[in-house]
Amino acid sequence: MNWITNYVRPTINSIFSRREMPENLWSKCPECGTMLFHRELTDNLNVCTNCDHHLGITPRERFRALFDGGAFSEVKVPEPVLDPLHFRDQKKYPDRLRAAQKTTGEAEAMLVGAGEIGRTPVVVAAQDFSFMGGSMGMYVGNAIIAAAEKAVEMKRPLILFSAAGGARMQEGILSLMQMPRTTVAVQMLKEAGLPYIVVLTHPTTGGVTASYAMLGDVHIAEPNALICFAGPRVIEQTIREKLPEGFQRAEYLLDHGMLDRVTHRKHLRDELITITRMLMGLPPAVRGDLPPPEEGPDARPQSEAAAQQALTPDPAAPKAPEKPAKDTPKP
Amino acid sequence: MNYLDFEKPLAEIEGKANELRALAKTSEGMDVEKEAAALDAKAGQMLKDLYGGLTAWRKCQVARHPDRPHCKSYIEALFTEYTPLAGDRNFADDHAVMGGMARLGDRPVMVIGHEKGHDTKTRIERNFGMARPEGYRKAIRLLDLADRFNLPVVTLVDTPGAYPGKGAEERGQSEAIARSTEKSLQIGVPVVSVVIGEGGSGGAVAFATANRVAMLEHSIYSVISPEGCASILWKDAEKMREAAEALRLTAQDLKQLGVVDRIIKEPLGGAQRDRAATIKAVGEALESMIGELADKSRAALIKDRRKKFLDMGRKGLAA
Ligand SMILES: [Zn+2]
């Protein structure tokens, strides 16, 4: 257990990252219209405090909340050939890429990290919908392969958060080829006997759903996430009829047998810990066996937050998992 | 003979030649052959010019030409003892996907392909070559069978894409496609694939995850249809010519990108002008591709296929 990486670094990180954010920022919940204070929203993992609507969350924000103390080491992704087709629509593809890099501060649409969740060593990959719609091009393919290779090398489970409008058109056929490429990555994990858990988040569509997102050992989705191959508009145009309420949403897919679970974001971490520990043959997670150090005003170690949630479960939470308290004895 | 819009001038000349010859048959002693031959020559030259430099969009049109040989034409002409196998053992038999055991020469193989149909009735029956989950699950079953009994697999790709329908989504279109790609990567027998017309996106990729992939000279293979791409990136579906060009979806582009291994030459004026010659050329390519893989062990075949896809994307097109 590394005290420094797990507690001190994230505290420093969180101080710095907080500074980058404008203090007086409000955003409106797209579902219920409630005005949410930025800080309040971030503290609630970007879930509306009024209606439980799950807003988008960047991989870095997710990792900060997911990994023990927010600490992880970034897994390096091999750089692909830039703009292999010399693609140009109304804009040049490299210009679109640069614009996305500028607004997100990220290199590309997927982040891979290795670290621990509930003292369970894992590799996690998360797709960034805010980066060109999370689209799957060669970089995302390389990231998934790198994540699988790292997981195999470290003998750890891979947890993947999907979020994408589909394949990246600007890379043409090479983006389509990420479907078989990422499937090879999944096979590496299966052959090594390592769990591959997919968390499908809003939205997961097209070639992404039709490859690595549907090949998990366990499929978990966030509430109300759109998950499909063909989007609802395309289908409506094809069959010329209105689609039923909730069509292609997470709960609908759960009913149709495509998912194992639909889980509220605030319960996700505990659930992932429980599942990965069982699949890896580890004893139940024990929380709080290491007292957290003195906290700064902004430090909020996840294990403690999770323990609080376990004490006060939200009765309104849809499809809440078994209470983590059951299989995770508290001190 | 169906003419494409850019073939209109050609249609006029060929029409004139036909008319002349028909006229000569009814009117005694009229000699038109010299004039008709001149028109033939002109048409021949025009065909050469048109097909020598097809734009990407025109290639899309040729790839979708209704008179091109389809999967069924190849199966009937190239294979013997074709024994169709039906159903996914779960829900239905998808007629957009043909498949079964057959002999290519003496060799027993498993052949699987998308069939679009050739007239209104068969097109509806075949759902225009757009498979539902049952089609992909039937393919998985046949791939598995081929694997257990050591039959090389031949796939013929010709689909606008997987069917975007309500039932297809409810029954797990994504999962079915993902699993068929997975199965294609797992089997220890040679898998060879030819894109014979349209290689439409995710609906095509599962069938084209092969050790060797060939494309007919005027076939296309793309992540999205040019119309779909135009409506998303140009916000105007009429910009499909620009989109087709930008997507680099021709056989020639894909060969350069290292995505396909070989291009099978089509007769002058496209496959639709000489179906028999096209089918023969595809047959020769299949024999040759299977021949290249025949001596490889099961493990080597799986490794070869994986490496092929992992290595993809290492090169771009020349500026
Ligand atoms: Zn709300």
Bridge partners, B285 (sequence order) = none
Radius of gyration of chain B (CA): 21
pLDDT of residue A291: 55
Contact A129, A164 (CB under 8 A): yes
Phi, psi of A92 (to 5 degrees): -80, 145
pLDDT digits (tens, 9 = 90+) for A132-159: 999 999 999 999 999 999 999 999 999 9
Contacts of A183 in chain B (CB under 8 A): 178, 181-182, 185, 209
Q: Is A215 on the interface with B (CB under 8 A)?
A: yes
Q: Is A138 on the interface with B (CB under 8 A)?
A: yes
Distance from CA of A234 to the nearest CA of B (A): 7
pLDDT digits (tens, 9 = 90+) for A201-237: 999 999 999 999 999 999 999 999 999 999 998 898 8
Q: Is A162 on the interface with B (CB under 8 A)?
A: no
Contacts of A207 in chain B (CB under 8 A): 201-202, 205, 223
Which residue in chain B is spatially nearest to A186 when comparing CA positions? B182
pLDDT of residue B22: 87
A181, A229, A248 ranked by CB distance to B202: nearest: A229
Contacts of B247 in chain A (CB under 8 A): 85, 87, 169, 172-173
- Span B60-310 CATH architecture: Alpha-Beta Complex (3.90)
**What's the CA gap between B219 and A48, in Å, rounded?**
49
Contacts of A175 in chain B (CB under 8 A): 223
**What's the CA gap between B162 and B171, in Å, rounded?**
13
Q: Is A90's CB within 8 Å of B186's CB?
A: no
pLDDT of residue A3: 40
Residue A138 Cα to ligand 1 middle (Å):
35
Mean pLDDT value across residues B243-253 = 97
Residue ranges in chain A whose pLDDT is less than 70 = 1-24, 287-331
pLDDT of residue A309: 44
Q: What percent of chain B has pLDDT over 90?
A: 90
pLDDT digits (tens, 9 = 90+) for B178-223: 999 999 999 999 999 999 999 999 999 989 999 999 999 999 999 9
Which parts of chain B are beta strand (E)?
Answer: 80-84, 97-104, 107-114, 153-159, 191-200, 212-216, 220-222, 262-264
Task: Return the number of other C-beta atoms located less than 10 Å from residue B40's C-beta.
Answer: 15
Q: Is A38 helix (H, G, I), strand (E, B) or coil?
A: helix
Residue B248, both tokens: 């680099």
Helix (H) or strand (E) run with residue A48 in it: none
**What's the CA gap between B199 and B202, in Å, rounded?**
9
Q: Is A211 on the interface with B (CB under 8 A)?
A: yes
Contacts of A83 in chain B (CB under 8 A): 316
Q: How far is CA B22 from CA A269, B13, B32, B35, B273, in A?
A: 80, 14, 10, 13, 21
What is the ipTM for the molecules in this complex? 0.95
* Total CB pairs under 8 A between chain A and B: 174
Q: Which domains does chain A have, with CATH numbers?
A: 3-17+57-283+296-327 (3.90.226.10)
Cβ neighbours of residue B92 under 8 Å, at least 6 residues apart? B132, B134
